[in-house]
Structure 1
Amino acid sequence: MKTDAFALRHIGPRETDLQQMLKTIGVDSIERLVYETLPDDIRLKAPLVLNPAMTEYEYANHIAELGSKNKVFQSYIGLGYHQAIVPAVIQRNIFENPGWYTAYTPYQAEIAQGRLEAILNFQTMVIELTGMEIANASLLDEGTAAAEAMALLFDVRSRDQKKNNVNKFFVSEELFPQTLSVLETRSAPIGVELVVGNHETFDFSAEFFGAILQYPGKFGQVYDYTAFIAKANESEIKVAVAADILSLATLTPPGEMGAAVVVGTTQRFGIPLGYGGPHAAYFATKEEFKRSMPGRIIGVTIDTDGNRALRMALQTREQHIKRDKATSNICTAQVLLSVMAGMYAVFHGPKGLKYIANKVHSLAATLSNELEKIGYDQINTAFFDTISVKADAKKVKAIAEQNQVNFYYIDEHTIAISLNETTSIADINTILSIFASANGKQASTIEILSEVHHFPEELARTSTFLQHDVFNKHHSETDLMRYIKKLERKDLSLNHSMISLGSCTMKLNAAAEMLPLSNANWNNIHPFAPLDQAQGYQEMLSKLEEQLNVITGFAGTTLQPNSGAQGEYAGLMVIRAYHQSRGDHHRNVALIPSSAHGTNPASAAMAGMKVVVTKTLENGNIDVDDLREKAIEHAADLSCLMITYPSTHGVFESAICEITQIIHDNGGQVYMDGANMNAQVGLTNPATIGADVCHLNLHKTFAIPHGGGGPGVGPICVAEHLVPFLPTNPVIPTGGENAITAISAAPWGSALVCLISYGYISMLGADGLKESTEYAILNANYIKEKLNGHYETLYSGEMGRAAHEMILECRPFKQKGIEVTDIAKRLMDYGFHAPTVSFPVAGTLMIEPTESENLEELDRFCDAMIAIRKEIEASTLEDKNNVLKNSPHTLAMLTADVWNFPYTREQAAFPLEYIAENKFWPTVRRADDAYGDRNLVCSCAPIEAYMEN
């Protein structure tokens, strides 16, 4: 046995457990199990061709050597990205802590109160800094947040009869170029016409429904938008503002100017540059638009006992209810990064944020003054942190790079310099020496900063912010460390027990994969740094693309999409561009099975496609006859089929090749949703089944942690004919020769966390990847057979096997008065997070154990499920005061003097022996969702202020 093999550490079951598991399943080998699970005609005929697997030690040395090829310059490039100081207490206790980064999206509120509080802090911070009324729990980046703002304003325009058919959207020429590119991508398919121009000469025509402005402007000029927004509002044009969040500590917030939406990034609040991400974007608007908001909102409610509780409010309205009528396909956020940004505000408080903002402004003011003394013109008449200097760009660049300094070169005569929290007086002196050397002057040595403001007095912020206690009492490291730990203890994460969420693949996020993220050679590179300064990144990203090409069987990959939903959209936009390149502009029909993820129809609608739903058979498979009929019916306009494989029902459909051929025969392309790729890697692949494009959830199959609902990466892999259309970036060109415009803001999306998947693949190698897939199938089928006789599995393959996940039928339990939610909540008492509830079939549980879980943990979970089944059997329809209906049980209940329940305290909290060894206590009883939605509160205001009369 190779005891230094990474696969040995990643895969849970031991060799000694294998025979017992196979016996339970009823096969004599894993090979036989795979044969009974996977159609033989789609099996790979040869192993994956990848480099030999590295040990953890070899990988650590390799990634360190690769990282040394990156050159970490002082970057004053700006354009929405700034070097930031990550407080060590946040880095150690959140960023590097599996208690935070392995948590799942907080759908089960009772065991996620810590994360929910941290996100509520983030929302409060955003609301108060922007001067708006409501904020969501974060979005993917500033570019996509701006696109969501445009979509929201386009959606709500229909409320105004005069604007119902208006489709023009004004974009200030001051907008960041990468944001404009994302807007170009998002606008065309939904029928929005962008008009780019100077906001000072805008005519407020009745043809416009909305506008977006940058605050400060892309090269630093600060404008007072008060008059513009007032005139726009008079003309019934709603205005979005993309605002630098640090500047809002000292500048008038857009909300006070009358903005309808404010968006931006919180990257400079203690989040590493990471060559572009992941970073938490923010989105704030007025309460009247709350039902058109994208993403998630964390809200305050009460639990069964009337105590304050938090939960996700209005959490499914977009993709699951609206589906193809959704204005967004958002089903993710950047939770881990929003937690860090919110905690940055908690650590510094309002005084600290104001101090940092004032310091950054003073640095910029001092630099501007001193440059003018040595003969340079600084052309921004008002600025916060960025100045624009007239100079010989070529000469300055040569000297700057010798001094390991990056500026942004607007043109050959203009240079933008964006200063940040890490900038020191010594850095100012270095910049001055560079410019002095370029024009042969002698610069003075600066020892103190200027305190003169370089923006109009009327733009100085006068309103208070962050007055709540949480932002004013955790300013020592001891206090913040304990506050973070207090919240962490309220959350059930993967470091406590298995999270068996179907379709979500909560596998091990190995420490060896995670450690490089803390290295400055990787996390401190600006996304628009010259390519020769990012050679380590370029090599790693190129190798990862090659690895994913091999795994999927495709010819090209883009890593730009920074979530699975973005990957869906990117894949469809590439298909759209392919059809248009052939003159087939009319091909706009997307066939989507009724069982598909809710994001599928939403993505199709966003890509300008008409959704046609195809039927699903009783066994859960696609109705091939119905598919063929609809493909033929729409052959002239068929764009694509969107399909998940294995199916959303956890089955390898044997007709898959026939299905893809039908689409191709009728002129369409096949988009494969990669949500279930964990059952394919090394055994089959999307190219083999006949797909043309697939997205991959790197936060599922390829080991990036969920981080509480983000970060995620959703690259797309495409067949050769689609490679020319892979997306580009306006600052650092990427993609194909006929590239579509940007999908997300950074050239390679959330590049930092791509290191994790690169490490995962590099350390497993071809054999380890295949073995991981086989053990994922093994573990799923082991649970299926262990629960057989207690729970019915809703769908199975033709030989009775599940893929890597299964759906348990729970609807008959309604005869006993038990809902699937009762099972989910009761599992908390047993120390487990619930499987996926009511998806893809209402009233069911979808279970996916992953290959990382060992036999002992699988048995514990099965024991819990069997014990709950016995509790269900003992229930009656009339009995509403039973152990299931009252779950979860909190420590406060168990230690109360009064116990008014017809079962014992031991039955409530310790129903099985193993629980006493590692008891997890939910901190609240069941959260009241209906109450919270009726009384929507998404900030830190005390709940007493919102109690129902």
Structure 2
Amino acid sequence: MQKINRDHKVRNYHQAKWDEPIIFELHNSGERGITLPQVEEEIVNHVGDGVSAIPVEMVRRKAPKLPEISQNRVLRHYLRLSQETLGAAFNVEIGQGTCTMKYSPKINEAFASSPKMTELHPLQDVSTVQGMLEVMYKLDLCMREISGMDYFSFQPGSGTQSLFTMASIVRAYHEENGEGEQRDEIITTSFSHPSAAATAAVKGYKIITLQPDEDGFPDLEELKAVVSERTAGFVVANPEDTGIYNHRIKEFTKIVHEAGGICYYDQANANGLLGITRAKEAGFDMCFFNLHKTFSTPHACGGPATGALGVLNKLKEFLPGPIVENQDDQYILNDKLKHSIGKVRSFQGVPQTVLRAYAWVRALGAEGLKDVAQIAVLNNNYLYHKILTIRGASAPYIKGKRLEQVRYSWEQLTKETGVTTDDVSRRMADFAHHYWSSHHPFIVPEPFTLEPTESYSKADLDEYIASLTQISNEAYANPEIVKNAPHNSTIHRVDEQDYFENPDKWAITWRMYLKKTKKTQEINS
């Protein structure tokens, strides 16, 4: 029997592999997971059959082609798939970079899955949902304190949708003031999230991107050169995706305001700022937080999410409506905002996400939120100094303290061994770690972006550092080990690199998969 060295921090991990088919391929005609009893005749006579009352135009012409499968096979299917994944509940998840993967208290899941939440319907009368509206209103008040903003909307379904909403508000604001055509430029920075520029471009704006100075800060002199009467707004993440906090940010917002522009703030990752600094004091007119990042509601495989969008008083009337307000001790939905840009998502967004975030904030309180920021920054700087001791690793730009994350580089490792950041990413999977490189295109050469948050212990960080160190040692001793990774995962590697870029290879529904693979006849037969 092989002796296991428990003192070694690199985890010996081998992922399960089941060759599990798609659930539609498990279809077996006539098989059932549950059989419902027939409704008694007395009930039908009293309330009807439950179908005849549905308007004809709402009734399907054909039943949906759902897989027919027994309960135990459904259970096996999803449990097997769960063994083929990595996630925050399974491993040290500091390698998700800018996504703030932290521990989400399980009691908050109990709140969100309560029948009081799951049986809510968005079309209920407001008198019947006073509890949920109270939660939304009180989280709004908390967010005001945290950010300095005056009103919040929880309607946007993501950070990107919040950025789109803020760009929409900028356009509506200038159009209301008669400057909509004149102000056609949005200024951003190269290390802000790509969605900042993309959403403004969707609104028809010309994008001006500030490049970093030699220390990695947005270039203030460049801003002075490009700001003009055509400037509609300035959007920035701070700290940016490098983890560098721009300590001169108020000078940037002051210059844009003097030119007549609106300043809006990407605070998707505010983990290092809670209780330390606020958007209002930095000179911003709007900001948003990702509740599914900073405020510890699960990402849940890309959703459901909420971008909590806050504005100062001068922009309140432009918010997507309705917003929750309190009148005479009753919570109401105010949909009479004079200049509202209209809804950006159905109803009021995702109430379960709002509830989880509210529970998290209330459990921590003001001092607890500040502790979150301080521990996150401490963890990040510990990781930063340790990684800089690993052969082949570096952190470009300003030296010294970083905030809540760092964008590192394997440029030296690649030059000396040929091992790239993508190779390291695949090898990290062999040690049960996720690892994220960067947004494309890579601005930092051979990047990897880590964010430890407040959730992880020194032992957790040391395990992650040990795995990176092991891979560096392998790269210099025998680079083929890393280049041929992963060795212990469900799949080896995808050779064709255009799956994400080529729409002809996308199949986001079963019907589309059948159409593109021409398997319809085969399945039906």
TM-score interval, normalised by the smaller of the two chains: 0.7 to 0.9
Does residue 485 in structure 1 map to residue 79 in structure 2? yes
What residue in structure 2 maps to residue 928 of structure 1? 495
* Corresponding position of 1:783: 383
SS at match of 1:846: strand
C-alpha contact (below 8 Å) 2:393/2:412 kept by paired residues: no
Instruction: Please tell me whether the aligned partners of residues 388 and 395 of structure 2 are also in contact (alpha carbons under 8 angstroms).
Output: no
- What is the rounded CA distance, in whole Å, between the counterparts of 1:637 and 1:937 in structure 2? 40
Q: Aligned AA for 1:926?
A: R
How many Å separate the matches in 2 of 1:427 and 1:668?
68
Match for 1:531 among 117, 126, 134? 126
Q: 1:738 Cα deviation (Å)?
A: 2.9
The change in CA–CA distance for 1:819 and 1:480 in structure 2 (over 3 A counts) is: same
Cα distance change on mapping 1:113 and 1:826 into 2, 3 Å: same
Mapped contact 2:32–2:70 kept (Cα < 8 A): no
| Structure 2 counterpart SS, 1:599 | helix
Separation of aligned partners in 2, 1:749 and 1:350: 38
TM alignment of 1:893-904, pairs within 5 A:
none
Aligned to 2:276: 683
Partner residue of 1:294? Answer: none
| Equivalent position SS for 2:233 | strand
Question: Out of 507, 515, 519, which is 2:114 matched to?
Answer: 519
The 8 Å contact of residues 266 and 288 in structure 2, kept in 1 or not, is answered as yes
How has the CA–CA distance of structure 1 residues 735 and 640 changed in structure 2, closer, same or farther, with 3 Å as cutoff? Answer: farther
2:93 aligns with one of 487, 491, 499: 499
Structure 1 CA distance, aligned partners of 2:340 and 2:29?
A: 44
Quick one: structure 1 residues 558 and 459, their matched pair in 2 at CA, closer, same or farther if it must change by over 3 Å? closer
Alpha carbons of 1:724 and 1:932: their partners in 2 closer, same or farther (altered >3 Å)?
A: closer
For each residue in 1:485-527, what CA deviation from the matched residue of structure 2 results, as whole angstroms up to 9, or x when unmatched? 1110000111221112221000111112211111111221111
Say whether 1:887 aligns with 2:485.
yes
- Match status 1:597 vs 2:193: yes
Deviations 1:113-170 (A, max 9, x none): 99x989x65xx79xxxxxxxxxxxxxxxxxxxxxxxxxxxxxxxxxxxxxxxxxxxxx
User: Residues 408-487 of structure 1: matches in 2 within 5 Å?
Assistant: 445=46, 460-461=61-62, 465=65, 471-472=67-68, 474-476=69-71, 478-487=72-81
Amino acid at match of 1:744: R
Aligned to 2:285: 692
Residues 809/460 of structure 1: CA separation in 2 closer, same or farther (3 Å cut): closer
Residue 579 in structure 1 maps to residue 146 in structure 2: no
Q: In the TM superposition, what is the alpha-carbon distance from 1:797 to its structure 2 partner?
A: 4.9
Change (3 A) 1:482 1:714: same
In structure 2, the CA distance between the partners of 1:117 and 1:593, relative to structure 1 (3 Å rule), is farther
Residue 617 (structure 1) aligned to one of 213, 236, 243: 213
For 1:236-251, what aligned pairs fall within 5 Å after superposition?
none
Tell me whether 832-841 or 687-696 shows the greater mean CA deviation: 832-841
Q: Tell me: CA distance 1:743–1:827, structure 2 relative to 1, closer, same or farther (3 Å).
A: same
1:849 counterpart (430, 433, 452): 452
- The answer for the alignment partner of 1:820 in structure 2 is 421
Query: Which residue identity does 1:764 align to in structure 2?
Result: L
Q: Which amino acid aligns with 1:936?
A: K
Instruction: Specify every segment of 5 or more residues in structure 1 that has no aligned partner in the other structure, as ranges.
Output: 1-109, 126-345, 360-423, 430-443, 877-881, 891-921
- 1:819 & 1:614 partners in 2: Cα distance? 28
> How far 1:595 moved relative to its partner?
2.4
1:766 aligns with 2:366: yes
Once the two structures are TM-superposed, the CA of residue 450 in structure 1 deviates from its matched residue by 7.8
- Spell out, residue by residue over 1:777-803, the C-alpha distance to the aligned partner (whole angstroms, 9 max, x if none): 0001001111222154424656x1111
Q: Distance in 1 between matches of 2:411 and 2:29?
A: 49
| Aligned-partner residue type, residue 539 of structure 1 | E
Give the Cα separation in 1 of the matches to 2:238 and 2:41.
57
Specify the alignment match of 1:648 in structure 2.
Answer: 241
1:784·1:793 contact (CA, 8 Å) conserved in 2? no
Quote the offset at 1:729 in angstroms: 4.8
Q: CA deviation at 1:529?
A: 1.1
Deviations 1:193-216 (A, max 9, x none): xxxxxxxxxxxxxxxxxxxxxxxx
Q: CA deviation at 1:352?
A: 7.1
- Residues in 2 aligned to 1:616 and 1:426: alpha-carbon distance in whole angstroms: 74
The aligned counterpart of 2:432 is: 831
Does the C-alpha gap of structure 1 residues 540 and 811 become closer, same or farther in structure 2, counting only changes over 3 Å?
Answer: same
Q: Name the % identity.
A: 25
C-alpha deviations, 1:801-835, integer Å up to 9, x for none?
11110111112322211111000011111111113
Change in CA separation of 1:564 and 1:113 when aligned onto 2, cut-off 3 Å: farther
Cα distance, 1:593 vs structure 2: 1.3
2:284 and 2:211 map into 1 onto residues whose CA distance is 20
Alignment of 1:156-235 (within 5 A): none
**RMSD over aligned Cα, in angstroms?**
3.5
Secondary structure of 1:694's counterpart equals strand
Are the structure 2 counterparts of residues 348 and 760 from structure 1 closer, same or farther at C-alpha, using a change threshold of 3 Å? Answer: farther
In structure 2, the CA distance between the partners of 1:427 and 1:549, relative to structure 1 (3 Å rule), is: farther
Distance 1:499 1:117, change over 3 A: farther
- When residues 698 and 113 of structure 1 are mapped into structure 2, their CA distance, relative to the original with a 3 A threshold, is farther
Q: Is the 8 A contact 1:347 1:475 kept in 2?
A: no
Aligned residue number for residue 872 of structure 1: 475
Residues 1:452 and 1:351: Cα distance change in structure 2 (over 3 Å): farther
The amino acid of 1:814's aligned partner reads: T
CA contact (8 A) 2:16 2:83 kept: no
Which is greater in Rg? 1
Find the aligned partners of 2:249 and 2:42 in 1 and give their Cα distance.
60
User: What's the TM-score once normalised by structure 1's chain length?
Assistant: 0.47
With structure 2 as the length reference, what TM-score do the two structures score?
Answer: 0.83
Any residues of structure 2 matched to 1:394-405 within 5 Å, and which? Answer: none
AA partner of residue 201 (structure 2): A
Where 1:771 maps in the other structure, the secondary structure is helix
Residue-by-residue CA offset, 1:57-99 (whole Å, 9 max, x unaligned): xxxxxxxxxxxxxxxxxxxxxxxxxxxxxxxxxxxxxxxxxxx
CA distance in 1, matches of 2:221, 2:486: 46
**Distance change in 2, residues 1:445/1:852 (3 Å):** same
Conserved 8 A contact 1:795-1:806? no
- What SS does the corresponding residue of 1:929 show, helix, strand or coil? coil
Q: Which letter does structure 2 place at the counterpart of 1:595?
A: F
Deviation at 1:447, TM superposition (A): 7.1
Task: Give how far 1:451 is off.
Answer: 8.2
Match of 2:160 in 1: 565
Structure 1: distance between partners of 2:310 and 2:50: 51
Q: How many equivalent pairs are there?
A: 483
Do the aligned residues in 2 keep the contact of 1:573 with 1:607 (CA within 8 Å)? yes
Gaps of 5+ in 2: 1-13, 324-331, 520-525
Conserved? CA contact 1:651–1:795, under 8 Å: no
The residue number in structure 1 matching 2:299 is: 706
Give the C-alpha shift of residue 427 in structure 1: 12
Change over 3 Å in CA distance of 1:427–1:783 after alignment to 2? farther
Q: Quick one: structure 1 residues 820 and 446, their matched pair in 2 at CA, closer, same or farther if it must change by over 3 Å?
A: closer
CA distance 1:641–1:465, shift in 2 (3 Å): same
- Structure 2 vs 1, CA of residues 113 and 768 (structure 1 numbering), >3 Å: closer, same or farther? farther
3-state SS of paired residue (2:307)? coil
Alignment partner, residue 306 of structure 1 = none
Report the 3-state secondary structure (helix = DSSP H, G, I; strand = E; otherwise coil) of the residue aligned with 2:46.
coil
The alignment status of 1:556 with 2:156, answered yes or no, reads: no
State the AA in 1 paired with 2:308.
P
Distance 2:175 2:121 in 1: 35
In the aligned structure 2, how far is the partner of 1:691 from the partner of 1:428? Answer: 60
Per-residue deviation, 1:581? 2.3
Report the 3-state secondary structure (helix = DSSP H, G, I; strand = E; otherwise coil) of the residue aligned with 1:628. Answer: helix
Q: What is the SS of the residue equivalent to 2:360?
A: helix
Q: Residues 722-761 of structure 1 correspond to what in structure 2 (within 5 A)? A: 722-729=315-322, 733-734=334-335, 736-746=337-347, 748-761=348-361
CA distance in structure 2 between the aligned counterparts of 1:930 and 1:645, rounded to whole angstroms: 32
Aligned to 1:71: none
